[in-house]
Amino acid sequence: MSLPPLKSIPLILRPQAWLHRRHYGEVLSPIRWWGRIPLVFYLVSMFVGYLERKRSPLDPVLRSLVSARVAQLC
């Protein structure tokens, strides 16, 4: 699926877009999607960071299952 490029990338995604341009030569499609809904990007990033912390109360197997399910929903 192709999206027209965004006129400007939100501030929260500019470092990620810079890394994509540097590594891949262009901004990849998922960044274009996240650029359209940056609040959801921020919330998902916070949730994944919470799950991946060292002192997470969840078992590592359950953490990976939750992460996979969240990735399917996004």
**15-67: pLDDT as tens digits:** 888 998 999 998 887 777 788 888 888 888 888 888 888 888 888 898 889 88
In a domain, 54, yes or no: yes
Buried (b) or exposed (e) across 3-15, using 16+ Cβ within 10 A? Answer: eeeeeebbeebee
Q: Is the pTM of this model over 0.95?
A: no
Residue 58 has a pLDDT of: 83
Please give the tally of structural domains in the chain: 1
Residue 4 lies inside a defined structural domain of this protein: no
Write the burial class of residue 23 (CB in 10 Å: 0-12 exposed, 13-18 middle, 19+ buried): exposed
In a domain, 3, yes or no: no
Domain assignment of residue 6, yes or no: no
Range of the domain at 49: 11-73
Residue 56 domain-assigned (yes or no) = yes
